[in-house]
Amino acid sequence: PKQAIVLVAAGSGSRLGMGVPKAQVRIGDATILEHALRACLASRIDAHVCVVLPPGDDTLRAVVDHSGGPSVTVVEGGVTRQASVRAGLSTLPSTVRYVLVHDAARALTPPEVFRRVLQTLMDGAEAVTPGVAVADTIKSVSDGWVAATPARAGLRAIQTPQGFTLQLLRRVHSETSDADITDDAMLVESLGVPVRVVEGHPEAFKVTTPLDLMLAEALVRRARE
Ligand code: CTP
Ligand code: MG
């Protein structure tokens, strides 16, 4: 395939606090990793899927072996998200044109978000991210004092999958490394390459805290009814 999805699932889930890697945590009948894999496959994008797992995690490796399908491979991740993405990228053949980088923690991401991002790449953008309008007023704060209030209408909460040409993403990952990098679009921005924003989806939220997990459980329960 000319497309690839790097599904990063190598995080520890410290904020979720369940004592196991986040990708092992169940939402209803399946683990976060299984839900995330299903979401990737449900997009029906003809893609090579590379799942990035915590080193030595045989439990998650077995999950991929059972629910992954033929074009799914596994690689061990790193200490930071960026290192995990880089590990995934290193496995992709150079025949891949477009790569989508997706957080497994966004386990319930609807297929339309994957398709929208890929379509925007195919229409010519080099870098694409989904985003949603924010409900809260966001202030930047310094030492406990408000520093600024950016106009809410211009703000977006950024989601994944983020899409890139493989060539560009490989280049930015080889040229930039910084502990404060929280997504791949930031790397591209730092090189001055424009990043297109498309509409995300509320259900593409990231399972980060126990409250997020409750919401995810409610959504899965609703889907089963
Ligand atoms: N991730 C990864 N490798 C890392 C860190 C994060 O593959 N070293 C992945 C996570 O598995 C997750 C995504 O990046 O799917 C977003 O990260 P985050 O929500 O922060 O997950 P964790 O790092 O696992 O959670 P926490 O920060 O609470 O420990
Ligand atoms: Mg993290």
Residues in the ligand 1 pocket, defined by CB under 6 Å:
8-15, 22-23, 52, 77-81, 84, 103-105, 206, 208
Ligand located closest to 75 CA: 1
Q: Is 17 left (phi over 0), alpha (psi -120 to 50) or beta?
A: left
Please count the structural domains in the chain.
1
**Could you report the average pLDDT of every consecutive run of 10 residues in the chain (225 residues)?**
96 97 97 97 96 97 89 96 96 97 98 98 98 97 98 98 98 84 93 96 98 98 92
Strands 72-76 and 47-53: parallel
Residues by chain with Cβ below 5 Å of ion ligand 2: 11
DSSP secondary-structure letter at 110? -
Index of the ligand 1 atom closest to the CA of residue 8: 7
Q: Is 165 exposed, middle or buried (0-12, 13-18, 19+ CB in 10 A)?
A: middle
User: Which ligand sits nearest to residue 84's alpha carbon?
Assistant: 1
DSSP 24: G
Q: What is the pLDDT of residues 34-65, one digit of tens each?
A: 999 999 999 999 999 999 999 999 999 999 99
Range of the domain at 64: 3-224
Query: What integer pLDDT is reported at residue 177 of this predicted model?
Result: 76
Distance in Å, CA 25 to ligand 1 centroid: 13
CATH code at position 11: 3.90.550.10
The pLDDT of residue 69 is: 80
